[in-house]
Amino acid sequence: MSKGVAKSTAEPMGASRWLLRGHSAAVFAFFYAPIIVLCVFSFNDSNAVGNWNGFTLDWYGDLFSNKNIKSSIWVSVKVCVFSTLIAVVLGTAAALALERFRWWGQKAFDAVLYLPIIIPDVTMAVMMLVFFSETASWFNWIPGLNLQDGLEKLVFSHVAFNISFVSVVVRARLANLDASMEEAASDLYANRWQTFRRVTLPQIMPGVIGGALMAVTISLDDVVVSSFVSAVGGTPLSVYVFGMLRKGVTPLVNSVSVVMLAASMAFVVASLLISRASGSESEER
């Protein structure tokens, strides 16, 4: 691009240039300072959170010996794995259907697919609560499905919002890919499935993985919808921690929070790296 032009005219000169830089630095500090403070104080050897009193790992020890926390981590992991797997398959199929085909009703489907992303959490939570309380009997015929213990309800509702996020990421990837490779494959008598398996899938893989990691993050972090559909004794970690931290600031809450934040950030960074790396690769082409 015409970067030389941009440099000279886009950036203000004199004092406002430094004002702009200072402002940007301050906003980044605003983004990260609270997180850093939280991390630092999770190692604080004091029950009072404000004053630094030396380094300790005790709170992390407490965390990993806490039975409730351990069982809720297990719930989170199960829900996350199942909901991500289903959402990735459905979301990728939806992305392909929207990006590679033209069919009747496509526009409407596209619009509905966006709704779970922009709908406020609370509304989605209420929808799932009302739905499961009204329709519990609908699912009785499915063998092995037990809506009472809440795990299935959590999976179903997490899939409902994660499909959309996966499909957005995969579509972004598909839109950057030229369909000519797929056409070439079918010219060479590859059937639909072979074309998908050998040509399309390898090319969209970064998008699929990026979308999957995003779904993992969203599923692990969800509080509102989960607190509406989870059953007593079957709460995922985020809901359990929400209950704890509403009561106030304690060292144990700090350490749980740091672990959750670290996990969430790790998945986010991985997702961004994978989809960005592939993004720059397709730009080069």
Partner 1 sequence: MPVEAPPGDAPVGETESEGASEVATPGLERQAERAKARQGFLLGLPTIIYLFIFFIIPLGFVVAYSFATRTRSGRTELRDFNLDAYARLGDDIIMTVAWRSLWMSVVTTIICLILAYPLAYFISTRTPAVRNMMLVGVMIPFWSNFLIRTYAWRVLLDSDGLVTQAFEAIGLGDGRILFTSNAVILGLVYGYLPFMVLPLYAAIERIDWSLVEGARDLYASGWAAFRRVVWPLSRPGVIAGSMLVFVPSFGAYVTPAILGGNKEGLLGSYIVLQFLSARNGPVGSAVSVVVLAVMLISTLIYFRSGGKNL
119: left (phi over 0), alpha (psi -120 to 50) or beta: beta
Beta bridge partners of 55: 44
Check binding of 3 to partner 1 (CB under 8 A).
Answer: yes
Are 162 and 58 in contact, with CB atoms under 8 Å apart? no
Closest CA to 170 of 108, 113, 124: 113
- Judged by CB under 8 A, the stretch of 62-70, 73-81, 140-148, 156-164 that binds partner 1 is 156-164
Check binding of 101 to partner 1 (CB under 8 A).
Answer: yes
- The values of phi and psi at residue 133, to 5°, are -75, -25
Helix or strand run (H / E) with residue 215: helix 201-221
Check binding of 179 to partner 1 (CB under 8 A).
Answer: no
- Considering only 15, 55, 118, 180, the residue that binds partner 1 (CB under 8 A) is 118
DSSP summary character for residue 199 = I
Check binding of 232 to partner 1 (CB under 8 A).
Answer: no
- Considering only 76, 254, 255, 278, the residue that binds partner 1 (CB under 8 A) is 254
Check binding of 246 to partner 1 (CB under 8 A).
Answer: yes
Check binding of 140 to partner 1 (CB under 8 A).
Answer: no
- Judged by CB under 8 A, the stretch of 60-68, 76-84, 142-150, 219-227 that binds partner 1 is 219-227
Rounded Cα–Cα distance for residues 257 and 254 (Å): 5
Check binding of 162 to partner 1 (CB under 8 A).
Answer: no
Beta bridge partners of 44: 55
Residues 27-56 that bind partner 1 (CB under 8 A): 27-28, 30-32, 34-35, 37-38, 41, 48-51
- Judged by CB under 8 A, the stretch of 58-66, 71-79, 142-150, 161-169 that binds partner 1 is 161-169
Rounded Cα–Cα distance for residues 91 and 162 (Å): 8
Check binding of 185 to partner 1 (CB under 8 A).
Answer: no
Rounded Cα–Cα distance for residues 44 and 46 (Å): 6
Instruction: Supply the minimum distance, in Å, between the C-beta of residue 254 and partner 1.
Output: 7
Check binding of 269 to partner 1 (CB under 8 A).
Answer: yes
Check binding of 109 to partner 1 (CB under 8 A).
Answer: yes
- Considering only 66, 231, 272, 282, the residue that binds partner 1 (CB under 8 A) is 272
Q: Could you tell me the two tokens for 28?
A: 């980044």
Rounded Cα–Cα distance for residues 53 and 120 (Å): 41
- Considering only 77, 85, 90, 231, the residue that binds partner 1 (CB under 8 A) is 90
Question: Which residues are CB-contacts of 43 (< 8 A; sequence separation ≥ 6)?
Answer: 55, 56, 57, 59
Check binding of 85 to partner 1 (CB under 8 A).
Answer: no
Closest CA to 271 of 182, 177, 162: 162
Q: Nearer Cβ to partner 1, position 126 or 231?
A: 126
Q: How many residues bind partner 1 (CB under 8 A)?
A: 108
